[in-house]
Structure 1
Amino acid sequence: MDGEPRERLWRAIAAAAEVPGRRESWAQAVCLACVDTLEQVDAAILALRGSARSEEVLGASDQWAAKLAELQYTVGEGPGVEAFEGGSPVLVPDLSVEQVRWPGFADAALALGVAAVFAFPFQFGAIKFGTLELVRRRPGGLASAEQRDAALAADLATAALLRQSLEAERAGQDFAPRPVASYQDVNIATGMLAAQLQVTLDDAFARLRAHAFSQDRSVLDVARDVLERLIALDELAE
């Protein structure tokens, strides 16, 4: 990629620090710019990550991308999870050969129409806090130039997010970018389940996740059923 397409991508990322009141619009713009300027990329996801239980999707180029992000959150594995945990890009040009690597993720993602995923971590020194993920509907890798551009896009997005956080701190405000997909309901349901069953938060979350996987549902949907008392907490005791 060179010339005007690359400049459009960089401008969308650089705009983060200039529009502090519209951070969610910026994240969406980054995802849409990646789809628009990187050849053969059909969708993009920008996610903040902290742990298995802590994640928010700041940007998703479309609902298909948002479903893929929710799938990884539900099963707890996939390219984005691995890129975040390992701190290195995870490039998967053909997901159909990765069933052993991610048994819970690969089949479900393929059923969604995902054929290839390329995940790049947000990292500053030893601090890891998210990923930029590019998705394809057909198998195939990124050209070397596009890999470099995507990695640099992730680095620029990292710098922009850090700048936003610093500016919020200087203004005496909390840094709270508005997500397009929040899993706050999962956190609440996890706390309720942990208190009811007298287990740790991690154990409670694992039970929500296992129930969701067994029912072929997202953990967010299961959590909302718990909050609405459609699922009794005792049902998740085993």
Structure 2
Amino acid sequence: MLNTVPPHLEGLLRSGCLATGVDGAGLSILATSGAREPLYATDDLATQIERLQLTLGEGPCVDSSNTSSPVLIPDLADPQDPVASRWPVFRAEANRLGARAIFAFPINIGAIGLGAVDLYRLSPGPLTDPQLSSALTTVDRVGLAVLEAPDQYDDPSAPAMTSMVVHQAAGMVMAQLDSSIQEAMVRLRAAAFAENRTVNELAADVVNGHRHLAKETE
């Protein structure tokens, strides 16, 4: 379902490309079945890269999602790169398509993995420290935008978090986690996403005492 995302999410990815000095980006999310689903790509090459990884079941985005760690490939054509050598078919096809460097980052909210973002460049070379920092900031913002997308919850009141029960639950979670109200709302959204429920449904369980969001262990 590529190219069907809210304008805000599209804008985040495109501005992230500019700040990071890359030529394009792709976004995939983890479905409740555990399968990766391409959600959006900024251009045709990014679309092909996302679909190629989905078809082959290998590539930087797949590894990044599985390990919850960035996968940085500054030169896809480098035969000595130990990471890229794990995906011989993907590397050959991505090179044929014109990609020369790929940087993949997991989308995580706490301990919950939502998917990954791929950034590609038409020329080889590593990300500079400022570019890497920009990429990480972009991915964090994309993660929050994914959680706020109405299609994720099939609940028109969930994205804006306007339901009274949601606000009440957020206050209870804030006390449970000893956190800010903003962090409590993020945790509610992330838990609902992971459980394939609406935020309102989960919030009702929290308010009724049927659900408790525990602190994450370090």
* TM-score normalized by the length of structure 2: 0.61
The alpha carbon displacement at 1:104 in A equals 2.0
Where does residue 178 of structure 2 map in the other structure?
none
Note the aligned Cα RMSD (angstroms). 2.6
Percent identity over paired residues: 32
The alpha carbon displacement at 1:34 in A equals 2.2
Where does residue 105 of structure 1 map in the other structure?
90
Gaps of 5+ in 1: 1-21, 174-238
The alpha carbon displacement at 1:103 in A equals 1.4
- With over 3 angstroms needed to count, the CA separation of the structure-2 counterparts of 1:115 and 1:79, relative to structure 1, is same
The C-alpha deviation readout for 1:138-165, integer Å capped at 9, x for no partner, is: 1101101110111111112112222346
5 Å-filtered alignment, 1:91-102, equals: 91-97=72-78, 98=81, 100-102=85-87
Where does residue 139 of structure 2 map in the other structure?
154
- With over 3 angstroms needed to count, the CA separation of the structure-2 counterparts of 1:56 and 1:75, relative to structure 1, is same
> How far apart in 1 are the matches of 2:35 and 2:147?
18
- Does residue 31 (structure 1) correspond to residue 13 (structure 2)? The answer is yes
Where does residue 136 of structure 1 map in the other structure?
121
Where does structure 1 differ by over 4 angstroms across 4 or more consecutive aligned residues? Answer: 165-170
The C-alpha deviation readout for 1:116-173, integer Å capped at 9, x for no partner, is: 0011111122211111111011110110111011111111211222234698647279
- Does residue 47 (structure 1) correspond to residue 28 (structure 2)? The answer is yes
Gaps of 5+ in 2: 160-218
Where does residue 37 of structure 2 map in the other structure?
56
SS of alignment partner, residue 98 of structure 2: coil
- Does residue 82 (structure 1) correspond to residue 67 (structure 2)? The answer is no
Where does residue 171 of structure 1 map in the other structure?
157
> How far apart in 1 are the matches of 2:45 and 2:111?
32
> How far apart in 1 are the matches of 2:67 and 2:44?
27
The C-alpha deviation readout for 1:37-85, integer Å capped at 9, x for no partner, is: 322x111112112489733332211111101111111111111110010
> How far apart in 2 are the matches of 1:125 and 1:172?
20
> How far apart in 2 are the matches of 1:52 and 1:103?
27
Aligned letter for 2:14? L
Q: Which has the higher helix share?
A: 1
* TM-score normalized by the length of structure 1: 0.57
> How far apart in 1 are the matches of 2:6 and 2:27?
10
Contact 2:9 2:146 in 1 (8 A): no
Question: Number of residues paired by the alignment?
Answer: 151
